[in-house]
């Protein structure tokens, strides 16, 4: 039988094409199992992905501004080759079971920006917020009048 600590151990995982960008384990005190199917958790995971995307947009803008002379003087700016699609994948796991995941496009950002993702400055806040949501009692568990 697993002890309480192991039952409440979760994994936060962010990958880019199966390459780990960030992986953290965290415990949730007073874990509420209903939180796994709550809209609160869904909205917060969406917010995390949007925040990462917004940060990448700013970094892309900075990168393109810093390298504008390269793009203006380049004769072959546009490739006729199709762009390889890549996606970020954010997962929350308990043991080996993935209970929430979200993908969002990475190929829309320049390679130098997409491969330099760094969420460490906001990671402590993200994990604290996830812990707070997953231990909360008053959760939204209906969507369009359907019980989740």
| pLDDT (tens digit per residue) in 71-93 | 555 555 555 566 689 999 999 99
Task: Give the pLDDT confidence score for residue 119 in this predicted structure.
Answer: 93
Task: Give the pLDDT confidence score for residue 27 in this predicted structure.
Answer: 95
Residue 47 pLDDT > 90, yes or no?
A: yes
Two tokens, residue 87: 């996606």
- β-strand 19-27 against 9-16: which pairing, if any? antiparallel
How would you classify residue 45: left for phi > 0, otherwise alpha for psi between -120 and 50, otherwise beta?
alpha
Mean pLDDT value of segment 27-38: 92
Give the CA radius of gyration of the chain: 19
For residue 77, tell me if it sits in a domain: no
For residue 137, tell me if it sits in a domain: yes
Report the C-alpha gap between 132 and 148 in whole angstroms. 20
Report the C-alpha gap between 102 and 41 in whole angstroms. 12
- Give the range of the structural domain holding residue 43, as residue numbers without chain letter: 4-70+84-147
Domain count, the chain: 1
For residue 25, tell me if it sits in a domain: yes
Residue 6 pLDDT > 60, yes or no?
A: no
Which stretches within 2-110 are classed as H helix? 4-7, 39-66, 68-73
Helices 39-66 & 120-135, crossing angle to 10 degrees?
170
For residue 47, tell me if it sits in a domain: yes
Report the C-alpha gap between 108 and 82 in whole angstroms. 12
Task: Give the pLDDT confidence score for residue 1 in this predicted structure.
Answer: 45
For residue 75, tell me if it sits in a domain: no
For residue 78, tell me if it sits in a domain: no
Two tokens, residue 81: 């080759």
Task: Give the pLDDT confidence score for residue 122 in this predicted structure.
Answer: 95
Looking from the CA of 49 toward its CB, the CA atoms found within 13 Å total: 23
The pTM (predicted TM-score) of the whole model is 0.83
For residue 108, tell me if it sits in a domain: yes
Two tokens, residue 57: 């947009």
């Amino acid at each position: 039988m697993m002890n309480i600590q192991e039952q409440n151990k979760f994994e936060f995982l962010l990958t880019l094409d199966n390459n780990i960008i960030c992986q953290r384990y965290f415990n949730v005190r007073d874990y509420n199992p209903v939180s796994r199917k709550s809209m609160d958790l869904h909205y917060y995971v969406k917010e995390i992905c949007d925040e990462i995307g917004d940060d990448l947009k700013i970094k892309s803008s900075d990168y393109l501004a810093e390298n504008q002379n390269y793009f203006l003087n380049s004769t072959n700016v546009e490739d006729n080759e199709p762009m390889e699609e890549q996606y970020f994948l954010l997962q929350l796991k308990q043991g080996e079971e993935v209970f929430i995941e979200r993908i969002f496009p990475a190929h829309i950002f320049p390679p130098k920006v997409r491969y330099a993702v760094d969420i460490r400055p906001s990671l402590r806040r993200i994990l604290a917020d996830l812990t707070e949501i997953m231990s909360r009692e008053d959760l939204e568990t209906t969507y369009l009048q359907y019980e989740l």
